[in-house]
């Protein structure tokens, strides 16, 4: 069967429109090849992948990764796509969980040239593109930054074109919680994005030992912090919250208490992760 270009038709502009795929078949499992492995933090690695037949994706989507042991035992995990749709290659950023079954293999064992079985892109709820509009409020904890970073990369690519400057004005704010300075994933990239774009604000909070001289927030994200950092509800920001379940639920509840429309607060729980 000849390979067909499966590029999804552009979104009609509605955040919820889901273009139908031409053929009615499930999203296929395929083997990607690891092209590069980058170290983000002591526990986080970015895997840059060559994925044959990749149809493109939307910022916020994820892939399912499947590992098969020699005895046939299979296990599966979901990982948010770290790259923007505009990026040349699909990338994933994985943070090693000490007692993880899958993450230590991905962060410590995978080498350039190895293959990884995955399917995707998956998901149509926790997604954002510039057509959805703003203001854009992103709140993340630990590895929850991954899909948010894809959104920011997409925003930078889309707003960076000459066409776009004419029409788009989408201010964005990121509030990102990490345990320590050296565990802030994409730390340098976030600083560069801010430097290049006065309409982007990034606020970090560190929940454990901050570095000497740290004048930023030094506690878990709470309602007071959100009230300071977020837009007022009257601005009707599009909000995306991602990270461990306790953080996501506390943040979503606080935002609704502050008056934000629950329908505009989208959440993606990563389960009982640290951060």
- List interacting residues with another protein (CB under 8 A): 9, 11-12, 14, 16-21, 24, 26-27, 62, 64, 76, 78, 119, 122-127, 244-246, 249, 263, 266-272
Residue 134 or 144 having the CB closest to another protein: 144
Q: DSSP per residue over 52-101, as a string?
A: TT-----TT-EEEEEEE-TTS-EEEEEEEB-S-TTSSSEEEEEE--TT-S
Residue 118 or 204 having the CB closest to another protein: 118
Instruction: Give me the least distance between CB of 263 and another protein, in Å please.
Output: 8
Q: What is the CA radius of gyration of the chain?
A: 19
Residue 189 or 249 having the CB closest to another protein: 249
Burial class (CB in 10 A: 0-12, 13-18, 19+), 177: buried
Strands 238-243 and 29-39: unpaired
Q: Which helix (H) or strand (E) holds 103?
A: helix 103-104
CB atoms within 10 A of CB 126: 20
Instruction: Give me the least distance between CB of 213 and another protein, in Å please.
Output: 33
Instruction: Give me the least distance between CB of 191 and another protein, in Å please.
Output: 29
Instruction: Give me the least distance between CB of 192 and another protein, in Å please.
Output: 29
Residue 79 or 187 having the CB closest to another protein: 79
Paired tokens of 128: 């954002």
Instruction: Give me the least distance between CB of 55 and another protein, in Å please.
Output: 13
Residue 13 or 160 having the CB closest to another protein: 13
Paired tokens of 22: 């031409």
Distance of alpha carbon 258 from alpha carbon 39, whole angstroms: 38
Q: Give strand pairing partners of 141.
A: 177
């Amino acid at each position: 069967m000849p390979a067909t270009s499966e590029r999804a038709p552009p979104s009609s502009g509605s955040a919820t429109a889901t273009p139908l795929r031409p053929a009615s078949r499930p999203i296929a499992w395929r083997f990607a090849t690891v092209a590069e492995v980058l170290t983000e933090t002591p526990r986080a690695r970015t895997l840059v992948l060559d994925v044959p037949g990749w149809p493109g994706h939307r910022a916020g989507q994820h892939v399912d990764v499947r590992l098969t042991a020699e005895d046939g035992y299979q296990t599966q995990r979901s990982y948010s796509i770290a790259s923007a749709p505009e990026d040349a290659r699909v990338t994933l950023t994985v943070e090693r969980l000490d007692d993880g079954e899958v993450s230590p293999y991905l962060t410590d064992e995978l080498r350039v040239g190895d293959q990884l079985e995955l399917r995707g892109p998956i998901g149509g709820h926790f997604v954002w593109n510039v057509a959805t509009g703003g203001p854009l409020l992103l709140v993340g904890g630990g590895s929850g930054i991954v899909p948010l970073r894809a959104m920011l990369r997409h925003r930078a690519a889309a707003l960076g074109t000459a066409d776009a400057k004419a029409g788009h004005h989408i201010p964005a704010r990121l509030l990102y919680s990490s345990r320590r300075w050296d565990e802030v994933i994409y730390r340098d990239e976030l600083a560069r994005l801010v430097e290049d774009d006065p309409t982007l604000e990034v606020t970090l909070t560190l929940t454990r030992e901050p570095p000497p001289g740290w004048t930023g927030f030094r506690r878990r994200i709470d309602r007071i912090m959100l009230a300071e950092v977020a837009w007022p509800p009257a601005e009707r920001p599009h909000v995306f919250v991602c990270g461990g379940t306790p953080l996501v639920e506390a943040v979503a509840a606080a935002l609704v208490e502050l008056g934000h429309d629950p329908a505009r607060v989208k959440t993606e729980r990563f389960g009982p992760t640290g951060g």
